[in-house]
């Protein structure tokens, strides 16, 4: 199997304490025979956006959010997909808030029970949700969904080779017992608080299988699952561990990573 590089990932230790740096092989996802997001948790997707100005926040909200809703709906066969926001990471964004730097520890975004928070947030929002309005839905409609999948999308907006690319762990090599919930408060100053998952160092050391996609262009995006109510109910791995890692061939900042992330709430009724 072709290797992207060997790199250090920061896991949680199996006993409470400081992060546990672990050197791992990160394989080339382009050269691997991977089955797709429903089995391994992530998938490289060809997707050309109509957006040309990635700095224009209004265009991102009015054009790119609906684009990604449609992509998520097609990929999941959900009845509807809702994208309400996005996160950009770059040196400029990191100056606004340190949590907008690349996240360099092994994690996934949501612990079990996240659907309760989704429903509450739609009901308690101070302003009507443009995502709900686009589809003629209300917060009560979200309550009646029989299944929820969170499919996230990561797109490189900068140079094809960057200092801190993102690696994804094959979900088939991870169990719920490998995770530990922790509280995130007021993420990046957004007011949003939730329980995320830290991932403990595996035993044996090579049990988790890591992949990255070299030289990603703007017409590509990596889709990865961070929640699925069906998998939670069955006690199966509903999350996809991921982490930024240091590419040993790229000096820090030369070039620095510039990327955008979106989260689609995919619903079935």
Reported as a single tens digit per residue, the pLDDT across 123-154 is 998 788 999 999 999 999 999 999 999 999 99
> How many Å apart are CA 157 and CA 64, to the nearest integer?
14
Q: What is the pTM of this model?
A: 0.95
Q: Does domain 7-12+20-268 have CATH number 1.10.530?
A: no
Q: Tell me, rounded to whole angstroms, the distance of Cα 169 from its chain centroid.
A: 12
Place of tokens 């709430």: 265
Maximal CA-CA distance, the chain: 50
Domain extents for the chain? 7-12+20-268
> How many Å apart are CA 204 and CA 202, to the nearest integer?
6
Who's near 56: CB < 8 A, 6+ residues apart? none
> How many Å apart are CA 122 and CA 127, to the nearest integer?
9
Reported as a single tens digit per residue, the pLDDT across 235-259 is 999 999 999 999 999 999 999 999 9
* CB distance 248 to 78 below 8 Å: no
């Amino acid at each position: 199997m072709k290797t992207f590089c060997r790199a250090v990932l920061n896991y949680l230790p199996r006993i409470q304490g400081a992060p546990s740096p672990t050197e791992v092989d990160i394989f080339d996802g382009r050269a691997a025979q991977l089955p797709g997001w429903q089995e391994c948790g992530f998938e490289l997707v060809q997707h050309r956006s109509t957006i040309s100005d990635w700095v224009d926040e209004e265009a991102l909200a009015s054009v790119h959010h609906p684009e990604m809703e449609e992509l998520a709906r097609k990929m999941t066969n959900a009845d509807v997909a809702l994208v309400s926001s996005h996160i950009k990471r770059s040196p400029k964004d990191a100056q606004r808030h340190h949590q907008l730097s690349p996240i360099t520890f092994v994690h996934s975004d949501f612990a079990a029970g996240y659907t309760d928070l989704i429903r509450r947030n739609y009901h308690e929002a101070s302003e009507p949700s443009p995502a709900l309005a686009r589809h003629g839905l209300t917060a009560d409609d979200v309550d009646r969904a029989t299944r929820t999948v969170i499919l996230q999308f990561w797109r490189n907006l900068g140079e094809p080779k960057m200092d801190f690319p993102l690696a994804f762990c094959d979900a088939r090599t991870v169990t719920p017992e490998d995770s530990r919930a922790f509280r995130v408060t007021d993420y990046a100053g957004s007011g949003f608080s939730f329980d995320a998952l830290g991932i403990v160092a595996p035993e044996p050391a090579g049990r988790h299988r890591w992949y990255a996609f070299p030289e990603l262009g703007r017409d590509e995006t990596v889709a990865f699952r961070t929640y699925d109510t069906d998998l939670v109910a069955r006690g199966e791995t509903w999350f996809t561990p991921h982490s930024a890692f240091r590419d040993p061939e790229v000096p820090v900042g030369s070039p620095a990573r510039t990327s955008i992330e979106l989260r689609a709430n995919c619903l079935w009724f």
